Amino acid sequence: MQIKEFLISDIEAVKKFTDAQIGVGYYSFDELKENQRKSVTTSGEISSFVLLDPTTQEVKGLRLAFPPGNWAGGKGAKLRPDLWPFQIHEAAYFQSLFLSAELQGQNWGPKLSQKSIEIFKKLGAKGIITHSWKESPNNSSFRYLQKIGFHTIIEHPLYWIDVDYVCPRDGKPCRCTSIEMFLRFEKESA
C-alpha cells in the first residue's frame, strides 16, 4: 500500500470510496473539494492523506485532517471548546478516517494519522480535536484514537442526525453518538 497526499486529482476516486465506506452522500464532490482545500497548510503542505493500492490505483483509505485556522467544526454542529486544554486557533482537526474492511486492524489508521501529526507539529499546533464514532464496528474508532494518545472530552448523542446521508448502521437518519476527544502535543524538551 502507498500513502500519498490528498490532491484535487484524487477527488473522483475518493468520492467513490467515501460513498462505499462511510455511506452514500456523506461527502458531496463540493465538500470533498473544500476539504482538500482546507488541508493545505500556510507553508503549502497537505495534511490529509489517501491510502492507495499501487497496482490498481484504487483508494483503500482516507485520513482527512485540517491544520489550525482552517476549520471551525466537524460534520455535526456540537463542539465544546470550553472543555479543551487549548484554543481553537491552536488546534488541528481530525475529520474522517476510514479504511477498506480488508485493511482494518493492521495499523494503517495510526500510520496515516502519524503523517498528519508530523505536519501539525511542524506548524506549532498545540494538539488535535476529533469526533470519534462510538458505534464504530469493534470499537475501532475509539481504540485507535486511544492508542495514539487521545483523551475523551464529552459524548454527543445523535451527533450526525442532521447529515443527509445513508448511515451504514441506521440508514436515514443516522442516530450514532460521537465522542469528542483531544490529543495534546508534548512540549519538546530543550
Ligand X SMILES: CC(C)(COP(=O)(O)OP(=O)(O)OC[C@H]1O[C@@H](n2cnc3c(N)ncnc32)[C@H](O)[C@@H]1OP(=O)(O)O)[C@@H](O)C(=O)NCCC(=O)NCCS
**Cβ neighbours, 10 Å, residue 101:** 9
Residue from the set 140, 155, 158, 161 that interacts with ligand X by CB under 6 A: 140
Alpha-helical (H) ranges within the chain are 11-21, 29-38, 108-123, 140-147
Minimum Å distance from CB 140 to ligand X?
3
DSSP 8-state class, residue 101? G
Nearer to ligand X, 67 or 76 (CB): 76
- The set of residues, in sequence order, having a beta carbon less than 8 Å from that of 85 and lying 6+ positions away, is 126, 127, 182, 184
Minimum Å distance from CB 128 to ligand X?
13
| CB-based contact 59:95 (threshold 8 Å) | no
Q: Does 67 bind ligand X (CB under 6 A)?
A: no
DSSP, collapsed to helix, strand or coil, labels residue 161 as: coil
Q: Does 144 bind ligand X (CB under 6 A)?
A: yes
Residue from the set 132, 159, 176, 180 that interacts with ligand X by CB under 6 A: 132
Site residues (CB under 6 A) for ligand X, limited to 89-118: 97-99, 104-110
**Residue count, binding to ligand X (CB under 6 A):** 20
Q: Does 133 bind ligand X (CB under 6 A)?
A: yes
Task: Report the C-alpha gap between 165 and 27 in whole angstroms.
Answer: 8
Q: Does 152 bind ligand X (CB under 6 A)?
A: no
Q: Does 73 bind ligand X (CB under 6 A)?
A: no
DSSP 8-state class, residue 43? T
Give residues in contact with ligand X (CB under 6 A): 97-99, 104-110, 132-133, 136-138, 140-141, 143-144, 147
